[in-house]
Chains A and B, each alone.
Chain A
Amino acid sequence: MKEYGRFLFRCFRVSFVGNRMYHAWMLLLTVLALIGLNAYAKQLVQGLATTGMTDQVSWGLYISNFTFLVGMAAAAVMLVIPVYLYRNRELHDLVIFGELLAVAAIFMCLAFVVVDMGRPDRMHHMFMKFNFPMSMLTWDVIVLNVYLLLNMHICGYLVYCAYHKRKPGALFYIPFVFLAIVWAVSIHTVTAFLYVGLGGRPFWNSAIIAPRFLASAFAAGPAFLILTLSVLDKWTSYEVPRKAIMTLRNIVTVALIINMFLLACEVFTEFYTGSAHGVSARYLFLGLHGHSALVPWIWTAIGLNTFALAVLCLPVSRRQGWLNVACGSLFIGIWIEKGMGLIIPGFIPSPLGEIVEYTPTLNESLISIGIWAFGLALYTIFVRITIPVLSGKLTVDRLYEFGAATVPAESDASSTGSPR
């Protein structure tokens, strides 16, 4: 127990050590997260009127980001599947980065749900009266939290074993890895069912939403990992195997093709039928009665995704630069597609046919940016700790050489105290 405490303490200390880039990055994230916290304090005082949401569009940026990030979390398994099902060795060492991403993403999801709640002070009502199994939201609470625990266990166990220079006992993590694979599919499916299960919202009431969620997640998640790995490759001593990146590139390409195909299926159904139920889709893609706030968003998303797909299918994407451009643009494209392209139009027009448009306010944007910064900071710290442990620079009998690193550049780092 005491040993574990020391391990945590050492991890904590490592997270404050790094070169100037690292400190600048962490300082930026900390500032953004604090600005977000400040905006949230304002929201707590004045209520959700500080957001752009209305009774007509009752979910906005928060739930959009939540949905997107559930996908990011689920996508972590796209690294795990090739490793454990197909014995792909190249990816083996990278699995942990996917799992860590899942942990950070779930923390962001939970934060987005909390800031969306009108009465976060009543969270404990969940434990006292839990409308399970009727409410899909209760399913989501369960699957997300279990997924969080599964991934924390897998990552924590692997890192702790490396710290102790022990070989991880297969029995202690392999079953959990397989469970996590199934569970990853479940978190995004259940999240899709949140929307799909609402008969009064024809735009969401489509069986294709869950597969679409999975396909888009399995494109955006690995794309984010490619970007992370390329940063690690460039700025740290950690060497990322080239073949692993290429495997991820294939995953992204296939998932993106499926995602765009499913979107096309959806568009066909909505428009060719000509039914009144296609009215939200018409609003989204073409605008309705002079209201067209979402039209530029969705076409930007489609443009970015098409561009990314074109690049990925061409040989140029074997070069890291082009691959990063493609990954970045599809990441943004899918983020738009799931938020502005799926959550918001479900509310427009309202069930009574009223068109009330939605624009996020500054305050809710700051909160959202703050949560992203918080999540990225978490992920950065996780990766920062994991790399020296896995590469044997920080183990039970070998303290990380703090002196080798740049002198701490700002007050945040110096406040941790001097090395023992």
Chain B
Amino acid sequence: MAGMSAFVAALSPLKDMDPDDIPSLDGFLQNHYKEMSDQDMSGALQRIQDEVKKRYQADVVVRDVKPTEGVEFVYALNLSRCVGCRRCASACVEENNQSRDQDMSYIRVLEMPMGTIDIEKGDHTYDHPTVPADDHFYMPIQCHHCAAAPCVKVCPVGATWTEPDGLTVVDYDWCIGCRYCEAACPYWARRFNFTQPELPAEEINPNMSYLSNRPRSKGVMEKCTFCLHRTREGKMPACLEACPVGARKFGNVLDPQSSVAQILKTKRVFVLKEDVGTLPRFFYYFDERAAQHEPPAPEKLAPSRHEGEGR
């Protein structure tokens, strides 16, 4: 008898469980994204909309935006232009309904001393009144949407995979939260919800999709999706639109006229950690002429604070 009561007492913190955290039966029984029928999907989207409404008191539209055939998305980033203002990182947090109190931005900007591209020499927490700092360049890093993605390989339940248009996505309703993918990623591109994301209702971006920016629950992984709810409909990713110096280029590499296809053809591009064999779809390049002869001297900007929350 004493044993039983001790057992119950030990479990007593469970009574503080937020009822919204307890999975609904529909959520519990929901199938994997790829296994869902159209009807299952519309049911799931409705359920998610209702849950967002209940938790955040916000009216939102959650859609399932599908890839287009003949499209493979690629990102190219001009290191000669980037000034390290971190506006991309802040825009990412807003667009993707990320938790405001955790360091969740999918983009990390490193301040690099001239003369090296060894990212271990980068400064993650630089904090100047204006950027760029003299004798430094800046290297934003986010998910590289690898063609041979280690995170996809290691996931025990197939909750993360590569879409036909090259995007590595997560089914937040399928992830079991083992964080093996986070250990596997060589680019530190994945983020885990260690607690319930804190997201003010008035700041919610109501244009949501199942595989990208709908609110996540605690205990699951999330990551950059190249803003697929925008880019699959012909728009540019939020980080690109936020960039004040045009350092970011994005598009369909299978279209020879696209800017990214041109950059890959004409510029000296490189990928990070090519030796780990991940075949990234995220390329860096320098403007050769500018870098060698006339270093760009853009006007100085006030940067967003580190942690992507300096808004």
Tell me which residues across on chain A come within 8 A of B1, comparing CB atoms: 411, 415
Asked, given contacts A49-B194, A118-B192, A122-B176, whether A55 binds B182 with beta carbons under 8 Å apart, the answer is yes
Structural contact, B103 and A55, CB atoms closer than 8 A: yes
Tally of B interface residues using CB under 8 Å:
68
Structural contact, B6 and A199, CB atoms closer than 8 A: no
Q: Of B21, B176, B187, which one neighbours A351 at CB under 8 angstroms?
A: B187
Structural contact, A44 and B17, CB atoms closer than 8 A: yes
Q: Which residue of B lies closest to A134 (CB)?
A: B153
A92 within 8 A of B: no
A200 to B158, CA, bound (A): 20
B16 within 8 A of A: yes
Tell me which residues across on chain A come within 8 A of B277, comparing CB atoms: 199
Interface residues of A in 39-79 (CB under 8 A from B): 41-42, 44-49, 51, 53-56, 58-59
A279 to B16, CA, bound (A): 43
Q: Of A38, A48, A349, A412, which one neighbours B219 at CB under 8 angstroms?
A: A48
Structural contact, A200 and B192, CB atoms closer than 8 A: no
Structural contact, B2 and A415, CB atoms closer than 8 A: yes
Asked, given contacts A135-B156, A198-B150, A200-B185, whether A117 binds B176 with beta carbons under 8 Å apart, the answer is yes
Q: Give the contact-size bracket for chain A.
A: 35 or more
A230 within 8 A of B: no
Tell me which residues across on chain B come within 8 A of A45, comparing CB atoms: 13-14, 16-18, 21
Stretch at the interface among A136-144, A211-219, A312-320: A136-144
A128 within 8 A of B: yes
Tell me which residues across on chain A come within 8 A of B28, comparing CB atoms: 121
Tell me which residues across on chain A come within 8 A of B121, comparing CB atoms: 353
Tell me which residues across on chain B come within 8 A of A346, comparing CB atoms: 183
A382 within 8 A of B: no
A113 to B187, CA, bound (A): 25
B26 within 8 A of A: no
Interface residues of B in 1-33 (CB under 8 A from A): 1-3, 6-7, 9-14, 16-18, 21, 23, 28, 31-32
Asked, given contacts A118-B178, A353-B120, whether A412 binds B7 with beta carbons under 8 Å apart, the answer is no
Structural contact, A38 and B13, CB atoms closer than 8 A: yes
User: How many Å from the CB of B45 to the closest CB on chain A?
Assistant: 19
Tell me which residues across on chain A come within 8 A of B186, comparing CB atoms: 199-201, 351
Interface residues of B in 111-126 (CB under 8 A from A): 118-122, 124
Asked, given contacts A55-B182, A119-B219, A137-B154, whether A129 binds B174 with beta carbons under 8 Å apart, the answer is yes
Tell me which residues across on chain B come within 8 A of A46, comparing CB atoms: 195
A119 to B196, CA, bound (A): 12
Q: Could you show 7 A-B contacts with beta carbons less than 8 Å apart?
A: A120-B176, A122-B174, A125-B176, A126-B176, A347-B183, A352-B141, A415-B1
